[in-house]
Structure 1
Amino acid sequence: MAGPHQTPASTADAPQLDEILLRVGKLNYTWSNTESLLIHLIAGLARIDKDTALIIFLTLNTTRARLDLVGRLAKMERTPEAERKDVLGVTERFSRISALRNKYNHCIYSFDADGGSPKTILMRISDRKDAIRYGKTDPINSAELETVDAAIEAIAELNREIWRLAQRHGYPI
């Protein structure tokens, strides 16, 4: 395993540490920026001002809780069908993308000193009927980085869609 400031020797398909960290940083930046747009959805659906929506957003300390709130507000009877469909569409897409984002935020990275492919090691316990599992590893190769790049683009498109939705339905901006 390479030290904190060392980059492992590369193989043809093994990305360098800097490549991985750059992608994960961009994934996190894009995600956080887009997640903050939920403030506008909360404000519009709850029919409150943006400052109040911001306090609610910051009080809920997980993405899941924020998405649940937005989804539940959209499902209220008073929400028109077209608006409900728009909001639930973006919250569903957000939820699907969250698995990849969570993987890279809740793992550690392993690098082979001999130049093998870097890996993620998931830092979560998985309870089974009569056993536990932990430390699931996945290689980080060029195909995986392409998956991260695709997720970044999907989040960026989601960002644009949330802005259009907020404008279309007259939410506080």
Structure 2
Amino acid sequence: MKEQAGRQLQFDDFLLLVGKLNYTWTNTESLLIHFIAGLSEVDKETATVIFLTLNTTRARIDLVERLAKLERISPNQRAAVLDITSRILGQARLRNRYNHCIYAFDADGENPRTILMRIADRKDTLKMGQSHPLNDAAAEDIEAAIKELALINHAIWQVIQRFDFPR
């Protein structure tokens, strides 16, 4: 029983790490509001309505990237914004792995893993149930993503200040 409690504690620690990833992600993604406001030349309240109306990260990033690519946006501003959106998208795959999955265990409640909740249509077959173990390497990947998101967050604030976007 003691050993089982130790394994459960490890899984609980892993879930706390995923929670920290989610918090860091959401906090960083919400800063796109300032990009929307600055690039579209609207106030922060209007940008917030636009941000909340778009219900996926992909849609929000697409909007920011498209605004940055407008002809009236300076090349420096465009490059700074597109660099950041690229960095955010670079972290999206890992975040999605832990947010759009089923957590599974073997018959003894051991060997925790994620199973992706996605179906990939191939020419004449389906591929589903991609699985990843919840191990030290997975925890290290999440910790690295959290650190990178913190750096992205800082970079976003630098761009907001540099280009005087609404705060």
TM bucket (normalised to shorter chain) is: over 0.9
* Partner AA of 2:76 in structure 1: A
Residue 70 of structure 1 aligns with which residue? 64
Please give the per-residue CA displacement for 1:10-29, whole angstroms capped at 9, x wherever unaligned.
Answer: 4xxx9821111101100000
Contact 1:8 1:112 in 2 (8 A): no
Distance 2:146 2:163 in 1: 26
Higher helix share: 2
- The answer to whether 1:93 aligns with 2:84 is no
Q: TM-score, length-normalised on structure 1? A: 0.90
* Partner AA of 2:96 in structure 1: N
* Partner AA of 1:29 in structure 2: Y
For the residue of structure 1 that corresponds to 2:111, the secondary structure is coil
Stretches of structure 1 that go unaligned for 5 or more consecutive residues are: 1-6
Please give the per-residue CA displacement for 1:89-135, whole angstroms capped at 9, x wherever unaligned.
Answer: 00000111000001100001112354643110111101111010111
The runs of 4+ residues in structure 1 deviating greater than 6 Å are: none
For the residue of structure 2 that corresponds to 1:79, the secondary structure is coil
Residue 120 of structure 2 aligns with which residue? 126
Residue 47 of structure 1 aligns with which residue? 41
Percent identity between matched residues is 57
* Partner AA of 1:144 in structure 2: A
Distance 1:130 1:9 in 2: 44
Contact 1:43 1:53 in 2 (8 A): yes
Stretches of structure 2 that go unaligned for 5 or more consecutive residues are: none
For the residue of structure 2 that corresponds to 1:16, the secondary structure is helix
Please give the per-residue CA displacement for 1:112-162, whole angstroms capped at 9, x wherever unaligned.
Answer: 354643110111101111010111111111011000000011011111110
For the residue of structure 1 that corresponds to 2:42, the secondary structure is coil
Q: How many corresponding residue pairs?
A: 164
Asked which structure has the greater RCO (Cα within 8 Å, sep 6+), the reply is: 1
Structure 2 counterparts to residues 5-154 of structure 1, below 5 A = 10=7, 16-112=10-106, 114=108, 116-154=110-148
- The answer to whether 1:157 aligns with 2:137 is no
For the residue of structure 2 that corresponds to 1:56, the secondary structure is helix
Contact 1:8 1:17 in 2 (8 A): no
